[in-house]
Structure 1
């Protein structure tokens, strides 16, 4: 038996998930908010067409990934960075981040995060999606396969290639970073 959801139920249950995933792609709060808005406009406009072939969560992940990738292509701007940290669990948490670290430590974290995300953003689209959904969103390979509409073995292959590329490129980038200091 399929459960019917109202738009408000869907929005309040999945808004932070959508925002966090979009943020992993665009690394900018304002752009992530715009993507989140676009995702829920699409959800609202296509709710009646949802066939329950997959879970609502998987369907929303798929819309979010596609909307994020489309946004990046459309924007075609220089990559920005976001302080790499734990995922938000509440709106207040991501709106009012409190940090008591020394400014020098914070700056170094920002620099390393910018470096990390600059390399992640160089990955091919499918590798980047598989990596972000796995490592930053914590989805299983089965869930990723559903979101990406591919096989589990393809997801595993994409993750292996992404990790290999990241290891190589991060090694090079951190060497350059160390030399600059």
Structure 2
């Protein structure tokens, strides 16, 4: 087994999980994961060992996810403009329930959608910090390396992100109830 294959085997699942938290579709996750490992392969000679290999790989992963989201946002704006001027194409994602309890599945999906909506409203750096911390389990020190910032900056980002999520969710449920 080649050294690169070992790297892929060791990091592939976590890279995919991290990407899925950002992009939310399996197809996009697969595409971006391939881009991540292509860049890892092409850049192995540039890896200096200043950080752990895993930290370097997840930095590439987060950067690829953020780039994808930026491109997607630009495409969405363009699609809105073209729909105004007569292009009626629509894109739809199909989700297949995973368990045999439709009511529970629906409730779980609704909660995920609400949380994803709230996460999407966070500034990019806060959303990245929260995903890496809460969903991927990285320590503040690891997040600081991935995001090229200090540990205290990450702690501040996480604090502000939690505060903002609380406000977004509170406002959402206030509107929903009243």
The CA RMSD measured in Å over matched residues stands at 2.3
- The equivalent residue for 2:42 is 45
Question: Map of 1:77-96 to 2, 5 A cutoff?
Answer: 77=76
Show structure 1 runs of 5+ residues with no match: 84-96
Choose from 24, 28, 35 the match for 1:27. Answer: 24
Choose from 37, 51, 69 the match for 1:72. Answer: 69
Q: Tell me the TM-score normalized by structure 1.
A: 0.82
- The structure in which a higher percent of residues are helix is 2
Shift in Å, 1:177: 4.0
1:88-123: CA deviation from partner (whole Å, max 9, x where unpaired): xxxxxxxxx9523x2112112111110110110111
Shift in Å, 1:178: 4.5
- The equivalent residue for 2:171 is 172
Say whether the 8 Å CA contact 2:126–2:160 is kept in structure 1: yes
Give the Cα–Cα distance (whole angstroms) in 1 for the partners of residues 8 and 176 of structure 2: 41
Q: Tell me the TM-score normalized by structure 2.
A: 0.83
Which of structure 1's runs of 4+ aligned residues deviate more than 4 A?
none
1:31-85: CA deviation from partner (whole Å, max 9, x where unpaired): 111110110010011011111111110001100000000011112249x99x9xx
- The equivalent residue for 1:10 is 7
Give the Cα–Cα distance (whole angstroms) in 2 for the partners of residues 107 and 99 of structure 1: 10
